[in-house]
Amino acid sequence: MVGATSAEVGGSDAGDGVDAPELRYFVFALFFIFGGITSLNDVILPKLKELFTLNYTQAMLVQFCFFTAYLVIGIPGAQLVKRIGYMRGAMTGLLVMMAGCLLFIPASRTATYGLFLFALFVLASGVVVVQVVANPLISLLGPARTVHSRLTFAQAFNSLGTTVFPIVGSALILGGLAGVSASDLTGAELEAYRTAETQAISNTYIGLAVALLVIAGAVFLFRNRLPGEQHERSSPLAGFSLLSRKRFGLGALCIFLYVGAEVSIGSLIVNYLQQSHVLGLSERAAGDMIFLYWGGAMIGRFIGSWFLRVMSPGLILASVAAGAIALLAISTHSTGQVSAYSLLGIGLMNSIMFPTIFSLACEKLGARAADGSGIINIAIFGGAVIPLLTGMLADASGSLAIALILPALCYAVIAGYGFYARRPA
C-alpha cells in the first residue's frame, strides 16, 4: 500500500516508513477498541430483536444504521484527517465514539428502538474517523515491503477486540430474566421489562465511554509525534477519481461485499444456533459462542501475517474466500454440531480478507493514502446493505439457510478479485 519517509508521511510509496515504534502499540489499541465495539452489534441485535419483537429485516436496522455512518462520514472523515492530521483525527474520532456511547442513556430510559439506532449511528461515526486514521497509519509505520503482513498483524488486534467484547457483552446484556420474553407481555409490564433490560445495554456503553475518554487523553499526548506529516490537498470528492483505477475500484467493491458478508453471518449467529436442527441453544448460550467466530478471525490474522510475507496475497485471498463458500455450503446442508461449527469456522476464513483487500487495492497510492482510505471506508457501507438484504431474504423465505446464499455470492466475487490481483500492481 503506502510507504513513507520520515520527512513526508503519506508522500512516498517506496520508503522505509516512519521510525516511531511506540506509535504501533497505539494503533494496535485503536484496532482493538473499534473492532470490539463493532462486534457488540452481534450481541445487541438479538437482544433488541427480542425486546421489541422485531422480524429479521427490522432487527438488521441495527447494522444498517451503524454501517450507514461509513457512507455518510467516510469522505468528511478523510477531509478532517487531512486537515488536522492523523493523531488529532484519532482523538476526535474517539470523542465522537464516547458521545455515541453516552446516547445509550436516554435510549435506555425511554426504551425507544429509534434512539438506540441513532446512538449506534453516532458511535459508528466516530469509529469511521478512527478507521480512516488507523489503516493508512499502520502502513506508514514500517517498510513498504511488509505492508501486507503488518496491516494483517494490526487487524489481529481488531479481531482480539471482536473476540473479547462479545464474551463480556453476552454476559452483561444477554442474561435477561429467566422465562420471560417481550412477546409474552403487554402494556405497563412490557414497558417495565424493556426499560429494565435495556439498562444493561446502557451500563455497558457507559463503561465504554469512560474507557474511550482515557484513550483519547493518551492520544492527546502523542498529538505531535508525526513531524512533517503531509497530505495532498484536494476536493472532498477527489477521492472518487481513484475508482477509475481498476485494481482500486474492484478492491473497493470487494470491501463492500466482504464487510456485508461478515456482518450478515455475525448478526445471524445467535438466531442460527438457536434453531432446533442446529444446536437449539438459549439466547445467552448462543451469544456466548459468538467469540468462536471472531476468535477464528483473530487466530487467522496472526497466522496470516506470516504467510503473507512468503506467499502471494492475492492467491491467499482467493483461497480463503473459496474456503468460506465451502463452509457455508456444509453448514446449510447439515445439522447439529457440524452445521454450527462450520458456520463459526467462517471467521477463520474471514481473517485476512479486509487487510489484504485493502492493501491490494491501495498499493502505490502515495500521498493520496487518506483519499483511498476514505473511499474504502465508504465501501464498508456494505455492512449496512448486505445484512439488510439478508434479513429480507430470511423473512421472505422463512429460512436462514437460504438467506446465507447472499454472503456466499459475496465471497465468490472476492475469490475472483484475489486471483485477478495475484501479481503486484
For residue 230, the model assigns a pLDDT of: 64
What is residue 367's DSSP assignment? G
**pLDDT (tens digit per residue) in 20-30:** 666 778 888 88
Does domain 19-224+242-420 fall into CATH 1.20.1250.20?
yes
Q: How many residues does the chain have?
A: 425
Question: Which of helix, strand or coil describes residue 73?
Answer: helix
Q: Report the distance separating Cα 130 and Cα 293, nearest Å.
A: 24
pTM beyond 0.85:
no
| Phi, psi of 281, deg, nearest 5 | -80, 165
Domain boundaries, the chain: 19-224+242-420
Supply the DSSP string of 183-217, one letter for each residue: GG--HHHHHHHHHHHHHHHHHHHHHHHHHHHHHHH
Is 358's pLDDT higher than 90?
no
On the 0-12 / 13-18 / 19+ scale of CB atoms within 10 A, 92 is buried
Secondary structure (3-state) at 8: strand
Q: State pLDDT tens for residues 82-122.
A: 888 888 898 999 999 999 999 999 988 888 899 999 999 99
Cell of 167: 464474551
Pick the range with the lowest mean pLDDT from 46-55, 180-189, 346-355.
180-189
Q: Cell 464474551 appears where?
A: 167
Cα–Cα distance between 222 and 250 in angstroms, integer? Answer: 35
